[in-house]
Amino acid sequence: MPIKTRCENFIKDTGVSTTQFCKRIGLSVSGFNRWKHNDLKIADSTEKRISDYLKKFNY
């Protein structure tokens, strides 16, 4: 499953705010939203950090 979909599912299922999610993954809210809408390319290391965080919760 694509990482953006995993992020959306995590936020929706857990009820965590986008702001809190971004704090936990170390990405600004504006950067996250720009990435989510394909306006920003994030570094591979950032994508790995997000993926590793989501894997802790089986997403």
H/E element, 39: none
Q: What is the pLDDT of residue 5?
A: 97
Phi/psi-derived region of residue 35, left when phi > 0, alpha when psi is between -120 and 50, beta in every other case: alpha
Q: What is the CATH number of the domain that holds 42?
A: 1.10.260
Q: What is the pLDDT of residue 19?
A: 98
Q: What is the pLDDT of residue 10?
A: 98
Total domains, the chain: 1
| Structure token digits, residue 12 | 């929706």
Domain range spanning residue 24? 3-55
pLDDT digits (tens, 9 = 90+) for 5-46: 999 999 999 999 999 999 999 999 999 999 999 999 999 999
